[in-house]
């Protein structure tokens, strides 16, 4: 807690510096893409949008892929997704850069099986059908777990589905397992009786990225900097006040409050600086996809990050 408070103090100081250095235009509208039980509820619960000197236009998406498509098309200025899906739009030349980041605990990405499944580990799913989101955290986690277990991709059948369709396939028995992230882990565990047999421990460091379109970076920089700092401040506050976040998020998403609270406590999402460690981790993730032919060629992710927005503080990694 002391470290969080110290980090918050530094962050608040930097926000003040950012305000002093750059004038914020009141005619600016930031078009922000969020996901289910995402950043908006955290910002509202923390009162982090108080005194906002620009307007925000929110759009909610069920998963990262459609959000990144909207960002790529210029329909959004800024959005939040996991680190893995970003690799594909960046590799395709999307005019998007990472301007902020946070890290969650490994349990926030999990391999779920039905309550009565005999599987007790990921290796027990050999020969089974596993639902994952193509090119996303689930897909990456499956390949990482396959390598970790010393098995081959051909030992499993990966069924590519978005979260809604994947849950339906999971509940009806059309697939034997589902690799998914929070809050879906909490939702399925509580409502479907799903059981976790593996998470992302030693597979990949779960991160959420703040992405911005290059046009927004050029034309709305001051608003982006202010917004990015408010997000980091709110996430620090949320670590100490998960119940307040759960109440707001439940109202926005209609997910039961207890489910949201469980999800938040599982994630423990903490803002981090974009540093060499983040870049190195992301490069390793891209390289794994290249090894498995998911990315057709190796990409260098160095230029994907705009460190000029990074909060230089003791938030750390």
Compute mean pLDDT per 10 residues along the chain, 317 residues long, and list them. 46 43 74 90 91 95 91 97 92 96 95 97 97 93 95 95 96 98 96 97 91 97 95 93 90 91 94 95 95 94 94 44
Return the pLDDT at 23. 61
Strand locations in the chain (E): 29-35, 55-61, 78-82, 96-103, 109-113, 129-132, 157-160, 177-181, 195-199, 207-213, 270-272
> What is the bridge-based pairing of β-strands 270-272 and 109-113?
unpaired
Could you list the residue range(s) of the whole structural domain that residue 154 is in? 106-199
57 and 30 in contact (C-beta within 8 Å)? yes
Q: Tell me the sheet residues that pair with 29.
A: 55
Of 164, 199, 234, at which residue does a domain stop? 199
- Spatial distance between the Cα atoms of 71 and 62, rounded to a whole number of angstroms: 14
Residues across the chain: 317
Q: Is residue 315 part of a domain?
A: no
Answer yes or no: do 114 and 195 share one domain: yes
Of 173, 199, 225, at which residue does a domain stop? 199
Spacing of C-alpha 313 from chain mean position: 21
- Spatial distance between the Cα atoms of 227 and 57, rounded to a whole number of angstroms: 13
Q: Which two tokens stand for residue 26?
A: 């009141």
Number of structural domains in the chain:
2
Answer yes or no: do 6 and 100 share one domain: yes
Answer yes or no: do 237 and 126 share one domain: no
Return the pLDDT at 41. 87
Upstream peptide bond of 183 is cis (omega within 30 degrees of 0):
yes
286: Cα within 13 Å, side-chain hemisphere: 21
Return the pLDDT at 317. 44
Q: Tell me the sheet residues that pair with 315.
A: none
Answer yes or no: do 99 and 211 share one domain: yes
Answer yes or no: do 85 and 30 share one domain: yes
200 and 141 in contact (C-beta within 8 Å)? yes
> What is the bridge-based pairing of β-strands 177-181 and 270-272?
unpaired
283 and 305 in contact (C-beta within 8 Å)? no
Return the pLDDT at 38. 83
Q: At what angle do helices 184-191 and 257-267 cross, to 10 degrees?
A: 130
- Spatial distance between the Cα atoms of 254 and 174, rounded to a whole number of angstroms: 27
90 and 198 in contact (C-beta within 8 Å)? no
């Amino acid at each position: 807690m002391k470290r969080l408070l110290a980090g918050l103090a530094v962050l608040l100081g930097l926000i003040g510096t950012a305000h002093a250095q750059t004038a914020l235009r009141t005619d600016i509208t930031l078009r922000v893409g969020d996901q289910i039980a995402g950043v908006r509820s955290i910002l509202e619960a923390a009162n982090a949008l108080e005194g906002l000197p620009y307007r925000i236009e929110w759009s909610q998406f069920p998963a990262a892929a459609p959000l990144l498509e909207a960002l790529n098309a210029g329909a959004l200025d800024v959005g939040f997704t996991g680190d893995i899906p970003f690799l594909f739009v960046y590799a395709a030349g999307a005019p998007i850069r990472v301007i902020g980041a946070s890290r969650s605990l490994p349990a926030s990405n999990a391999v779920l099986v039905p309550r009565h499944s005999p599987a007790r580990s990921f290796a027990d799913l050999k020969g089974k059908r596993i639902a994952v989101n193509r090119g996303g955290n689930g897909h990456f986690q499956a390949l990482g777990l396959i390598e970790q277990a010393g098995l081959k991709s051909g030992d499993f059948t990966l069924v590519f589905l978005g979260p809604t369709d994947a849950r339906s396939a999971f509940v009806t028995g059309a697939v034997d397992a589902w690799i998914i992230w929070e809050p879906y882990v909490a939702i399925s565990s509580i409502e479907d009786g799903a059981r976790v047999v593996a998470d992302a421990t030693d597979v990949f460091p779960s991160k959420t990225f703040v992405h911005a379109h290059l046009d927004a970076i050029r034309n709305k920089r001051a608003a982006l900097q202010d917004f990015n700092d408010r997000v980091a401040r709110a996430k620090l506050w949320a670590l100490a006040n998960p119940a307040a976040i759960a109440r707001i998020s439940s109202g926005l998403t209609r997910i039961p409050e207890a489910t949201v609270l469980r999800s938040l406590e599982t994630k423990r999402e903490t803002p981090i600086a974009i540093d060499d460690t983040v870049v190195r981790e992301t490069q390793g993730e891209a390289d794994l996809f290249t090894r498995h032919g998911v990315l057709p060629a190796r990409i260098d992710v160095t230029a994907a990050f705009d460190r000029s927005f990074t909060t230089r503080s003791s938030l750390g990694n």
